Amino acid sequence: MATPHGSLAINVLKGALVKVLGFPTGRSTIGVKHSEGNKVRLTVKTNLESKPNDSLMLKVIEVANAQFRAALPVQFFNVPRDEAEKAYGECMYDKFEVPAEIQTLTVLYIDGLNLNCVRPEAEYPSNTSAVSEIQLKKIKFQTSKKQLEVQVIFVPNSGASVPVVKALQAATENTAAKPSAEAIAPLVTGTGMQGVDDAPPAPSASNDGGGKKQVVTPWVVQSDDGVDYNKLIKDYGSQPISDELIQRMEKIIGQPAHPWIKRGIYFSHRDLNNMLDMYEKGIKFYLYTGRGPSSEALHLGHLLPFMFTKWLQDVFNCPLVIQLTDDEKFLWKDLALEECHRLGYENTKDIIAMGFDIKKTFIFSDLDYIQHLYPTVLEIQKRVTFNQARGIFGFTDSDNIGKQAFPAMQAAPSFSKAFKIPLKGLKNMPCLIPCAIDQDPYFRMTRDVAPRMKLHKPALIHCKFFPALQGQNTKMSASAQNTAVYCTDTDKQIKKKINKHAFSGGQETLELQRELGANLDVDIPYQWLRFFLMDDDRLEEIATKYSSGEMLTGEVKKELIGVLQKLVKNHQEKRAAVTDEMVKEFMRVRELEWED
Ligand code: TRP
């Protein structure tokens, strides 16, 4: 027997499933069952190839529970059927047909979460806070039909006295404006942003024919067995870096491309061809990259983008701006504002140690530079709706409003007018952004607003994640000591970490290794050498010998240890030579110097 609270729980659960798993809301509800003891069951048709894993389902429940906590109004509208279909497509329908003679639909609407046709006599609480939470009981997945059955228990909120309303009556009395087609758009495709030229919806979690689930956002990187980068290119709508593009680049710069480009570590781009077109015509671009200062000690993964940016600055001989998002880390982490600011200064020393040209490089903290950035930030903020931001970044109603406003801060440096002094007042200088692929959502948003601001879209070149010592599954974390090698580690620590913690793709025994060889794809010593051993011939030799069993894991580890000790020592020396005066000068708002 359906109860108002149970019906609400089902509606919120449906919205959360759509949001997290990313299937269209329309026509996907197959069945609903209410049982004793506040138990409800929802069966939906998904586009998943396999059963969603636990962490994804926990995310669904978390998103649903955030909606209850957010105390959103549950609204009802009577909408003429043709008008509804025109504005919302099939979004409000369940699997079963609404009989043709029904010409006016009664729809339930929870902002940003669900739009659903309901029976006129159905009863619902008028606010999501009537339920305090749902708890996951069990799930079943039918692979052949892609059907997911989710059973949850809902807990009514005894503290809230939320009136229960009848759908038709509430709709008749409702004087509020109907939700716009734009507001509904993210629901139609699951998550997503409408009107982005080069990006299909940006799923915070997605699944496709590969049957692999992965979550890649600026804050979470998670996947079952290694990130599927081809899938990311497809999901994000970026371009793979082709051999032609590499050859073209080499011709223009008159030297070989960086080994990381040739090895597919920098693997994806947006509009790099355009950037090269302009460069050939003598129109210079500037480079923009950044760092979120959340820890004192950087690990090797943090250095990569800067090492690469340094190469770009050298070969294209162009100005560079580096953003320290102390504001971002304050909003996301449990850190004091002063601490984030200080960490930015500390990290700047590591960045300077990469060897950037002081005349061509401006490093800034958001906190310090905000007055210069703010006009551009405002221009961007005005052009991105809450719904769009939520679609791109997966914000929920319980995220603080600082987070929701932040993306414009990271977007603004993509436009040269945010650097009136450093970039000599050039209003529309093209911009190239080297970054890890997880930062792409910011720049999809940026590229969407650029034409409306009558400015060039920034171009991008994306790199893969640097794998953790324990294996490919996630990027390294600054907080998990033994997953990473730090720029501050001693020779001894490096040796110990690699020998003890680096995941090996070699075989269990010497005999087996000699016979079968190592699996290079999962072998961390080899994968790390792909990043840090610049000698192509030696890398090739190791690949051949190690995969055929001629080399053993211990030997490859030894080679890696040597490479890393040298790299880290070199970094430590360079960093020690960075003075406070140099930091000040890099961060001074001043005109950069470069040759056109
Ligand atoms: N958000 C990034 C981080 O947390 C920092 C950043 C700011 C950045 N602007 C950028 C990274 C531009 C790449 C490109 O690390």
**Identity of the amino acid at 251:** K
H/E stretch holding 324 reads strand 320-324
> For ligand 1, atom 11, which residue shows the shortest CA distance?
290
* Residue 137 near residue 151, CB atoms below 8 Å: yes
CA of 249 to the centre of ligand 1 (A): 25
Would you say residue 202 has pLDDT above 50?
A: no
CA nearest 588: which of 394, 325, 443, 372? Answer: 372
Determine the Cα–Cα distance for residues 128 and 8; give it in Å rounded to an integer.
7
Number of Cβ within 10 Å of residue 335's Cβ equals: 18
Determine the Cα–Cα distance for residues 563 and 557; give it in Å rounded to an integer.
10
**366 Cβ inside 6 Å of ligand 1:** no
What pLDDT was estimated at residue 177? 83
Q: Is 252 left (phi over 0), alpha (psi -120 to 50) or beta?
A: alpha
Q: For 217-236, what is each residue's pLDDT tens digit?
A: 777 766 666 788 988 898 88
Residue 335 is given by DSSP the state -
**290 Cβ inside 6 Å of ligand 1:** yes
CA of 155 to the centre of ligand 1 (A): 40
Mean pLDDT of 6-23: 91
Would you say residue 479 has pLDDT above 90?
A: no
Atom of ligand 1 nearest to the CA of 291: 5
| Mutate-to-test residue for ligand 1 from 217, 291, 432, 476, highest number of ligand atoms within 8 A of CB | 291
Would you say residue 284 has pLDDT above 90?
A: yes
What pLDDT was estimated at residue 228? 86
Residues paired with residue 95 on neighbouring β-strands, in sequence order: none
User: 């102390």: which residue's tokens?
Assistant: 326
Residue 73 is given by DSSP the state B
Task: Name the pLDDT band for 212 (thresholds 50, 70, 90).
Answer: low
CA of 292 to the centre of ligand 1 (A): 6
Among 45-59, 202-216, 253-267, 389-403, top mean pLDDT goes to 253-267
CA of 411 to the centre of ligand 1 (A): 10
Per-chain mean pLDDT for the chain: 89
Say which range, 60-74, 351-365, 381-395, 457-471, has the weakest mean pLDDT.
60-74
Quick one: tokens of 275? 């950037």
**295 Cβ inside 6 Å of ligand 1:** no
What pLDDT was estimated at residue 204? 40
H/E stretch holding 580 reads helix 580-587
Determine the Cα–Cα distance for residues 59 and 17; give it in Å rounded to an integer.
9
Helix (H, G, I), strand (E, B) or coil at 270: strand
| % helix, strand, coil for the chain, step of 5 | 45, 20, 35
Would you say residue 187 has pLDDT above 80?
A: no
**292 Cβ inside 6 Å of ligand 1:** yes
Say which range, 406-415, 492-501, 507-516, has the weakest mean pLDDT.
507-516
Portion of the chain with pLDDT greater than 70, in percent? 93
What pLDDT was estimated at residue 517? 93
* Residue 114 near residue 108, CB atoms below 8 Å: yes
> For ligand 1, atom 3, which residue shows the shortest CA distance?
292
CA nearest 3: which of 30, 34, 37? Answer: 34
Number of Cβ within 10 Å of residue 594's Cβ equals: 17
Determine the Cα–Cα distance for residues 494 and 525; give it in Å rounded to an integer.
12
**328 Cβ inside 6 Å of ligand 1:** yes
CA nearest 436: which of 321, 313, 298, 309? Answer: 309
Would you say residue 313 has pLDDT above 80?
A: yes
> For ligand 1, atom 4, which residue shows the shortest CA distance?
292
Determine the Cα–Cα distance for residues 435 and 413; give it in Å rounded to an integer.
14
What pLDDT was estimated at residue 71? 83
> For ligand 1, atom 7, which residue shows the shortest CA distance?
290
Atom of ligand 1 nearest to the CA of 436: 13
Q: For 260-270, what is each residue's pLDDT tens digit?
A: 999 999 999 99
Q: For 544-565, what is each residue's pLDDT tens digit?
A: 999 999 999 999 999 999 999 9
Quick one: tokens of 190? 């699951």
What pLDDT was estimated at residue 189? 57
pTM to 2 decimal places = 0.68
CA nearest 257: which of 245, 273, 269? Answer: 245
CA of 522 to the centre of ligand 1 (A): 28
What pLDDT was estimated at residue 591? 97
| Mutate-to-test residue for ligand 1 from 442, 462, 477, 479, highest number of ligand atoms within 8 A of CB | 442
What pLDDT was estimated at residue 453? 96
Mean pLDDT of 408-433: 96
What Rg, from alpha-carbon coordinates, does the chain have? 27
Q: For 489-498, what is each residue's pLDDT tens digit?
A: 999 999 999 9
What pLDDT was estimated at residue 180? 79
**410 Cβ inside 6 Å of ligand 1:** yes
What pLDDT was estimated at residue 216? 73
CA of 586 to the centre of ligand 1 (A): 18
Would you say residue 477 has pLDDT above 70?
A: no
What pLDDT was estimated at residue 182? 72
Mean pLDDT of 54-83: 88
Task: Name the pLDDT band for 351 (thresholds 50, 70, 90).
Answer: very high
Report DSSP letters for 138-201, one per residue: EEEEETTTTEEEEEEEEEE-TT--PPEEEHHHHHHH--SPPPPHHHHHHHHTSS--TT-SS---
Say which range, 159-163, 166-170, 429-433, 465-469, has the weakest mean pLDDT.
159-163
What pLDDT was estimated at residue 102? 83
